[in-house]
Structure 1
Amino acid sequence: MGEVVAAMAGVHAPQLLQSFPGEDETQLDASRDALRELGGILDETRPDALLIIGSDHLETFSLDLVPTFTLYTGPRAEGEFGGEPFSRPVHTGLATALVEGLIERGFDMAYSQRAELGHAFATPFRFVLGDRPIPVVPLLVNVYLPPLTTPRRCEALGRAIAEVVAGRDERVAVLASGGMSHYPGTPKYPEPEFGFDRWILDRIEAGDLDPLLDLTPEQLDEVGEGELLAWFVLFGAMGRRRPGRVLSYQPIWHHGHGVVVWDTETEAMEAAR
């Protein structure tokens, strides 16, 4: 029987991939190091596939078509950022099974074999996956263009993903790529809601996720937390709720960088003893 063997979330800011003036490299290095720690969890859990829940930043989608949830089912996950191309093998069997299984469970999934992926995937490919030969399954969630889906719908999708995985043979790690507070392309860019970030992380460390899932898309947008919709899919996919561990939080002047891992149920039980 298949299972979700790892659950983790981490920032995917462009500044982690390229050099930009005015950035604090000490803070950026702390975020990079924490993402690399997530790679160590892949070494410990040895998954057969890595499901990466990310977002599109208009690399593929536009106002011509804005799907809410899209699975990538092509043979390789490809794209480029900052002139640097990337290409990773896709676990097409799992990706196709997820499309079929989620539609059977009432989710009108979109899928693509040609999506151009951006830094939401380039960042975890470089710092989390590294040179590990683990096939990936990219899942894109619309987090920017209204109307947005709700946190509860994202959690429900995650639960359905876990059901599909349980009916197969693969051990699957799940990574939510994105967050935390930031306002790209707006006058509020230098004014992230760091206090709201810390409230979110406090709830995660306490295993108290309902206050987060009760937020509306409008509330998330107001505090620059739209990318947490990807995290909410993870909340459902990891099964029984348990406290998360914050590996790093960096209040970059324009972006809250968070990296979090949830221990497996066995590890959580041992830690509680």
Structure 2
Amino acid sequence: MAASHAPGLAGWFDKAPEADRATVRKAYDAIHDAVVESRTDVLLVIGNDHVANARLNDYADFTFGQAPRHTGPDDWFKPWLRMADYDLPGSPESAAILHEAVRDTGLNVRGVEHNLRFDDNLSVPVHMARLESAGVAIVPVLQNCTVPPVPDERACYSFGQTLGDAIRTQLPDGLRVGLLGSGGLSHEPGGPRYLDIDEKFDRWYLDLLEAGDHEQVLSQATFERMEEAGSGGTAELLSWTVVMGAVGPRPCTSLGYAAVDQWRCGVGAVQWHL
């Protein structure tokens, strides 16, 4: 699955029209139900790090959270997320196995055994999809979508392919693993288009994903095209690209879309059926 994690979904949810709130509630309820009904044991949540866990001159492309518990939101982000604290079980063994499996991808990949600083990347899915009540362990995989050089769409897709192979072949037999790409859609945090949402891009992108032709997605929904739709924010969709690589070429189902100025972000979600 993949879904937007705009902080407005936690801190400013009530500012949106009821119809848009209902759309987003329904989408995230579907994510909650999918995790529960599939009896997922471990959920990988892949999302932009927002430069919260490393210095710019020493920045990993992907960081696997290997802590036994994941707690948040980080104190610095609480005033604008305005949500309850959470405490989720981790899966250190799974995280360590997957981290080791992707170390030779040519990207800068790290494993971290302490609790990471989580902002909306993990906190919003936890809040909106009620993951604390879903009976699932979490492996956060924080991604570089903003600090140059950013791994582009093909590098992220290839990383996802390696990750998917590792999930299928190196984790214990019978372990049920889900993936959630967290981020997007169009937004430009702090930039001149901070109040703008590129609804045309968002709907085009969701239609492209629903068609299921991953080569077309990679050729057209490039990092540069994402930046055109909103610099410094829209490229969080690279986390969706990782999930696409892991599950392989197939169509997906849109769970809904809303363009709400008060949320400063196009909000949507999709699900791939394996």
Short-chain TM bin: 0.7 to 0.9
SS at match of 1:227: helix
Superposition pairs of residues 158-173 of structure 1, within 5 angstroms: 158-167=160-169, 168-169=171-172, 170-173=175-178
Q: Using the TM superposition, give the Cα deviation of residue 64 of structure 1 relative to its aligned residue in structure 2, in angstroms.
A: 4.4
SS at match of 1:74: coil
- Kindly tell me: are residues 65 and 32 of structure 1, through their superposed partners in 2, closer, same or farther at Cα, counting changes over 3 Å? farther
Q: CA deviation at 1:16?
A: 1.2
Q: What is residue 233 of structure 1 aligned with on the other side?
A: 242
SS across alignment from 1:179: coil
Matched, 1:198 2:203: yes
**1:90-105 superposed matches below 5 A:** 90-104=90-104
Q: How many residues of Structure 1 are paired with residues of Structure 2 in the alignment?
A: 256
Offset at 1:183?
0.7
**Which residue does the alignment assign to 1:119?**
120
Q: Distance in 1 between matches of 2:140 and 2:18?
A: 29
Specify which structure has the higher proportion of helix.
2
Structure 1 residue aligned with 2:46: 53
CA distance in 1, matches of 2:271, 2:212: 12
Pick from 68, 72, 85: which aligns with 1:79?
72
Alignment of structure 1 residues 127-142 onto 2, 5 Å:
127-128=128-129, 129-142=131-144
Shift of 1:24: 3.1
Pick one of 187, 200, 205 that aligns with 2:192. 187
Which residue number corresponds to residue 155 of structure 1?
Answer: 157
Greater displacement, 140-149 / 23-32: 23-32
Distance in 2 between residues matched to 1:221 and 1:107, nearest whole Å: 21
Match of 2:30 in 1: 37
**Unaligned segments of structure 1, at least 5 residues:** 1-7, 265-273
Q: For the residues of structure 1 that align with 2:103 and 2:215, how far apart are their CA atoms?
A: 26
Corresponding residue for residue 268 of structure 1: none
**What is the rounded CA distance, in whole Å, between the counterparts of 2:105 and 2:14 in structure 1?**
47
Gaps of 5+ in 2: none
Note the alpha carbon deviations across 1:55-108, whole angstroms, 9 max, x for none.
112332342432111111111122214254322111111100011111145544
Q: Does the 8 Å CA contact 1:90/1:136 hold for their aligned counterparts?
A: yes
Equivalences for residues 205-224 of structure 1 within 5 A:
205-214=210-219, 215-224=221-230
Q: What secondary structure sits across from 1:144 in the alignment?
A: coil
SS of the counterpart of 2:195?
coil
Percent identical residues: 33
TM-score by length of 2: 0.87
Find out whether 1:175 has 2:176 as its counterpart. Answer: no
- Partner of residue 254, structure 2: 246
Provide the C-alpha distance between the structure 2 equivalents of 1:21 and 1:90, rounded to a whole number of angstroms: 31
- Which is further off, 120-129 or 59-68? 59-68
1:113 Cα deviation (Å)? Answer: 2.2
Using the alignment, how far apart are the partners of 1:183 and 1:29 within structure 2?
A: 24
The alignment partner of 1:82 has SS state of helix
1:52 maps to a residue whose letter is V
After superposing the two structures, state which structure 1 stretch, 216-225 or 159-168, moved more.
216-225
Q: CA RMSD for the aligned pairs?
A: 1.9
CA distance in 2, matches of 1:20, 1:103: 39
Task: After TM superposition, give the deviation of residue 211 of structure 1 in Å.
Answer: 2.8
